[in-house]
Structure 1
Amino acid sequence: MKSLLTDQIVAKDVSVRTLLGLGPRDEDLGDLRQLQLAPLRGKDPLRLWVGAAMAFVAAFTMAPSMPWPIVSGWLACALAFCLWSYNLFAKLPLGDPKLSGITEYRLCNRHALYAAALWSIPFWLRGTAPPLDHVLSLWMIVLLMMLTLAIIAHSMPRACLQFIMPVSVSAAGAMVAAGSPPMAAVASLAALMLSTFCIRFGQQHVRFRRAEETLHEKTETVSLLLREFEETSADWLWQTDNNRRLVHVSPRLAYALGGTAEALEGVPLLQALSGDAWESGNFSKTLHDMAERMKRRESFSNLIVPVTIGGKPRWWELSASPRLDETGKFLGFRGVGSDVTEQHASAEQIARMARFDNLTGLPNRLSLHEDLARALSQAIDTKSRCAMLMIDLDRFKAVNDTLGHPTGDKLLAQVSARLKGIMERGMTCGRLGGDEFAVVLHNVASATAAEELAERIIQTISRPYVVDNHQLFVGASVGYAIGPQDGATVETLTRNADLALYKSKDKGGNVVAAYVASLHTQAEERRVMEQELRGALDRGEFELYYQPVVTAEDGTLNGFEALIRWHNQKLGNVSPGRFIPLAEDSRLIAPIGEWVLRTACHEAMKWPQNLKVAINVSAEQLTDPAFASVVVSALAQSGLPPQRLEIEVTESVFLRDGGGAAQLLDQLIGLGIRLSLDDFGTGYSSLGYLRKTQFSTIKVDRSFVVGAAKGSIESIAIIRAVVALADSLGMSTTAEGAETEVEVDTLRTLGCSNIQGYYYGRPMPASDVLTLFRRPDAASTAAA
C-alpha cells in the first residue's frame, strides 16, 4: 500500500547547482540540507573503521618500497585525521529538523577536502617520477575508498566530488609521470563516472525523501479523520457539504442522532446536534465555537460539545478537517465523533472532588482560595471589604483519641452541617483539613460584622452533639482578617487570619481574635526562639534546678523535682512555660528530655541514697518507642537505682495516645521506676488511668492548695477525695505550690503525704543542693 502511494506521489528533481550548494535553494524543496545530512547520522563509527583500515592497507602497500619513517608518518597523520573527524561529527546534530543544517553541511564539505589532500599525498611519496606499480596499487585502494564514500555519503554529492576529483587528479598526474597516459585517462574516466553517479544518486535520494514527506503528510491527514474510528473505537464518521449540511449519513451516525439516514440527509449539522434549541437559537457556547470554526473553515480536534438527542442531554467529542478538491475548492467537512457522556460525567465528578471535601461536602482549600481571590478582587475594585475567618475545633482530638476516627468523622459532618446552616448570601464556608474550617465573606460592612459572625459560629458549634449514643462537646477558636487592609493577596490574608487563630488558641480557645500587626512580631519572636532553641543543647545553655520535696508529717527531705532552666545570650532567661510547648511543637523535646534525664540521674548519684529525683516527661517523649531504652541507658551510665527515679506524667499522655504510652509506662514500672500522675483534678481526672497504670504518687495542683488554705469547701473536698483515693490504692500524695505556713498546716490536716513548694525551698542549682548535704559536717567542724 505504501509503495503504491509513493509511486503516485512524485517529487520533482532538484537542480544540480542547488544540490551542490552552488546556486539559490528552491524553497519548495523544504529543508534540503537536513535531508542530505540525515543519512549520515550514526555512520561515524563506520567511517572511522573504513578510513583507518584503508590507511593501514595503504601503509603496508607502501612499506616494502619506501622508508618506514615516511610511511609511518603518513599513517599517523591519517589515523589522527580519522579520530579527529570521528570525535567532531559524533557531537553534531546531523539531520535535526529544528536546525538549518548549513553549518554541518559546510563542515562535511571541508572535511572531504581535508581527506582528499591527505590521500593525494601517497602517490608522490616516491618522487616526481613514481613507479607505475606503486601508483596503480594506491589507485586501487583509493578507488575502493571512493566507492565506499559514494555508498556511505551518497546524499552529500558535493562532499563526494570534493574527495573524488582532487584524489583522481593526483592519481592521474602520477600515472602520467610514471609513463602511462592511457591509465591516467582510465582513472579520469572512472572518476567522472563515479562523480556523475554521486550526483544522480543524490538527486534520487532527495526526491525519494520528499515523496516520503508528502506521503507522511497525507497519511497524517487521513489519520486525523480515522484515528478515533479505527484506533480508539470512535462510534461514527460524519461529513457535510460546503453549506455545513450533513451528507452521506451513515447508519451509525443516524442511530446516534436518533433518526434515519434518509431523514438526516441535508439537515444542517448544528440543527441535528442542538435539538429543540435550534428554533430558539439558545445554543451552548461550545456549539457556537464549533459553528464559528466551521464557518472559518478551520480544523478542530477533540472538541467536547453538548448535544440533545431525543430530548436528553448528551456529550459528544468531535474532530474534523475541511475537504478540498484537486483545485483547492472547499467541499465541506469530514470528521469523526463519539459519545463521551459517561467520561464527561466522570470528569465532572473528578473536578468536584478536586474542589470539594469528600467527608463534609464543603468546598476544600482550593475552592476557598479561589473564592477568596474573587472576594479580594471585588473589594479592591469597589473599595469595599472582605474577610477570611479561620476556625479550629477545640477538644476535637480528644474525641478522636477516645472514641475513634469514625466517630470523629461523624462529628465533623455535623459541625459542617451547622456551619452551612449559618451561611447567608455572600458567605462561603469550607474545610481546610482535619478539624480546621474557614469562611470567606464578600462585601463585609465592617470588622464588627465579621466578629459577630465569628461569635455566632462559636455559639453554634459549641452546642452539644450526639454521635453514636455519645453526647459530645467541642468548642471553636476563630481568628479573622479583613481584606484588603490586612492583606491584598490570598496568601497574605490567609496567613494573617491564621496568625489571629493562633492568638485565639493561645487565649485558651473558644474565643474570637482579630488580626493585628503585632502578631507578626510574636510570630517572629517564636521563630527566633525556635532557631535559638535548636542550638541550645550544643551551646550548653540548659541547666537543671531542683526543688525539694518533703514528708508532710515531719518535714523530712525525701527527694527533689528536676526543673529545666534556659539562659540564652540573645533572649536572656526564658521560662519553661514558653519554650517547652515550642520544643514539643518543633520536635525538639526528645533530645532535650533525654539530656534532662541523663543529667538528673547523674546529679542524683551525688545525693544521699534515700533521696529520689522526679523528672517531668511530656506526651511527645512517651510516643517514642525508644524512650524506655533511653531511660535504661541513663540509669546504667549514672549507676542510679531505678527505685530512686520518679517519672512524672500528665493525663494528656493518655488522651493523645491510643495505648502505646500506657504500655511504655508499664515497661518502666517493670524496671522498678516510680510513676507520678501530675496535675490530677485539673483535666479529665479519669479513674481509668489509675486502674490501668500503677502510679506510686498522685500530685495535687497548687490551685486546690490555695483554695483549701482559704477555706474553699470545694478545694478541701477535692484534696480529701484525692488523699482517700490514693490511700485506698496504696499511693502517696504530693501537694504542689505550698508557700505559707497556713497552706502547709492545711495540707497536713487533710492527710497529704508529701509537700512541695517555696515554703520548704525554691528551685536551686545542683551546686546548692550539694551544699545542703555538707552543712551538718561544716557545723560539726566549726563546733570542734
Structure 2
Amino acid sequence: MDAPEGSDWAQVHGHQYALLKERMGVRAALHVLGFLLAAAMLYSAVPLPLLGVWGMALLFAVGLSARADRRLGDADTRSISLDEIKTHATTSAAKGAMWGVGMILSALVADPAATVLVWSIAAMMVLASSASRFGASLSSISFTLAVGAGGLLAALIAGQFILATVVLLSTLMSVFGVIESARVAVAVRLTESAMQEKSEVVSMLLREFEEGKADWLWQIDTRRRLKSVSPRFAFALGQESTQVEGQSFLQLISGNGWKTGRFPQSLHELAERLKRKENFSNLLVKVSIDGQDRWWELSGTPIIDEFGNYHGFRGVGSDVTEQRESSEKIEYLARYDTLTHLPNRRMLNEALGEALQYAAQWRSRCAFMMIDLDRFKAINDSLGHLVGDRMLAEVAARLKSLMTDDEVCGRLGGDEFAVVIRDAAKRDRIENLAREIIERLSEPYEIENHVLYVGASVGSALGPRDGRTVEELLRNADLALYRAKDEGGGTHREYEPSLHANAEERRQLEHSLRHALERDELVLHYQPVVDARTEGVVSFEALIRWNSAEHGFVSPGKFVPLAEDTRLIVPIGTWVMQQACREAAAHWPANVRVNVNVSPEQLLEPDFVATVVRALSESRLDPKRLEIEVTESIFLRDASVARKALEECMAIGCSIALDDFGTGYSSLGYLRKLKFSTIKVDRTFVQGAAQQSPESIAIIRAVVAMADSLGMTTTAEGVENEEEAAMIRGLNCTKIQGFHFGRPMPASDVRAILSRQAEEWRLKSA
C-alpha cells in the first residue's frame, strides 16, 4: 500500500487496475464454470435449494466484482483513490468468501471427498487470480485469503487435517507469490515510466539543440545517403533540405575532391569510420562547401536495431572553422618568435629532441649551437628597443640564409639564437657553419640611418657524445658559449668536460642554499599590482631574495632555478607561502591580496594543498586574499596532478593566476582545463607594444579579449613609465605591474604605502 520512493502511488498502480476491465468477462465466466463443476459434483449430496442459494450468492459477488472492474477501467488516465482500491479488494474477498462457503457446505452435508473436489476447483480460481497479469495484487491477495480461510475451516470440519495443512501452505505460498509478482510488476512500471520520461527529455533537448544552438544533427542510411535533413544541417551544406535529402554525404562535403579523388586525410578517416561502423567523437574533418574549405567537428554512432541490424549512422556536428583558425594562429605564436618569425625555444627543443632520436636510431651524431650577439646591449641601450628589434630581425634573416635543409635556426630569447644540426656526421660542417655565422653577423647593419656593428659568439655541443637528452645538450652548449664569451667573443668553442668549473660554483651555491632557511638568510620583498583605471593597489606579489653569508646577494634568476633543480624549492616555497600569508593577514587591509609564485615541483608534492591550508589557518588569512601564480610549465610533467592540486586550492577559495602567458608553451587547452582568475601578460609583449610592434599589440588584445570572454582578469607586467601605463589602459588590461608603480620592496615599505593610501582615502571620504 506504500507509494514507491519518489513516485505517486496512484500513477504507479493505475495502469494495472485499468487492465481489469479487459478480462472482466473472462473472470466472470471462469467463476460460473467453476460453480457448474462444483454443482455437478454436489448435486446428489447437497439439497438443491441450498445449492441454489450458494450459487445465487456466488453470482451476486461475481457481479459486484465485475462492476468494480468496470469502474476502474479509466484508472490509467486519472488518479485513483485508496477507497476505490479497498472497495475492489472487498468485492474480491466476497468472491473468495463465497467459495469458502461452498467448501464448508460440502464438508457439512456431503462426504469428505466432496470437500477435496470443491477445494480443487477453488484452488484453480486462486491460481488463475495469482498468475494473471490482468489482476490487481491487493485484490488477488484478498481473494486468496478468503478462499484459504474457507478451505481451512472446511477441512477442519471434515476432520481432514492433511488437507487443512495443504490448504494453509497453498494459501500462504499463493499470497507470497502474488506479493513477489507485484514487486516485479511495480519495478517494471517504474522503469517504463523512467524510460518514457527520459525519452521525452531527450526529445525535448534534441528539439532545443536543433532550434537554439549553432550545431546540427545529421543522419545517413546504409548507403551513406542523407535522410531527415534538418534546416540547420542543410544551411551548413549551403543548400535547402529538399535538395540534399537522399544525396551522398561524403560527396556533398568533399567538393571537387570527389571528381579528382584527392581527399583530405581527415575525410579518409571519416569514411573509414563509417565503413567499419565505429562510434566516433569530436572527429575534426576538413570539408569543402561551395568551393570553400571549412572545418567540421563530427560525432556519430551507428544505428543498430534490437535484432542487430545496421540501419545507418546518426550524430551531431558543428562548424569549428573560426576556432581552428584562431587555434592555429595562437599555436603559431606559441611556436614561433613574434619578432624574428624564427622558431622559438619550444620548437628548437622539439627539433633537438627529434635530432637526438635520429642520431640514436642511425648511430650518427647531431649538434646544437648557441649564438649570442656581442655588444648588442650597448646598441639597445643607446638607440632604443625599436632599433634593437630591427637589428634582431636582420640577424634572423642572415642566419636563415646560411641554413641548409638539414639545419634549423631559431631564437631562444633576447639576443640569443640557436641552431639544430640534424646530421653532424661531418665535423667540419659545425666549424664551417660557426665561422660563417660569426662572419655574416659581424658585417655592418644599416638601420635608421645608422651603420651598426655587432659580433657573435658561438658555443656547440655534439649529441649524443656531450649529452643524450635535450637538457644536457642545451646545458653543455651553453657552457661552451660562456667560454667563448669569456674569451672576448667573436669565437666558436665546442663543449669540453673541463667547462664544468661552473658546475662547481653551482655545487657550492646549492650547499649554501640548503642552509639558507635555518640561517635566516631569505627575505621576502613585495611588488605592487595596481588597478589599471584607479591606480589603487589591489595586491602585492611576494618575491624571494637571498643574501648569503658566503656568496653575498645572489640573484633570484640564479638561485631559484637551482632550487627547482634540487627540489629545495619545496621547503623554500612552503616558507614563502607562510611568510606572505602572515604578512598580509597581520598588516594589510582586507581588500589587498597577496600573490605567491608556486613552482611545478611544489604542485607535484602530495601535501601541497595541506601546506596552503596550514599557511592560511595559521595566519588566519581569508583564502580569497591569496592568489597562487603558476606558469604554463606546470602542465609539462604531470599535468593531472598539478591540475588537481590547483582545483583543490580553488575549492577552498584561493584564486589562480597564469604567469608569463604567451612566452612558453601557450595553449588554449590549459585555459579550458582550468579556471584561472588572472592571465599575466609577459613584459616582452608590453615592451613590444610600447614600441608599436603590431604583433605585440595584437597578442595583448587577443589575450584581453580571450580573458574577458572567459571571465578572467589580465595583468600587464613590466610597465616602466606613464606612456606604457596609458597604452596598457587603452588595451583594456585590468591590472598593471611594473617599476613605474613600484619596485620590489621590503615589508616595512609596503606597510608605509598602505598606511599612506588608507590615509588618502580617509581624507577623500571626509
TM-score band, normalised by shorter chain: 0.3 to 0.5
Determine which structure has more spread, i.e. the larger CA radius of gyration: 1
User: What TM-score, normalized to structure 2?
Assistant: 0.42
User: What TM-score, normalized to structure 1?
Assistant: 0.42
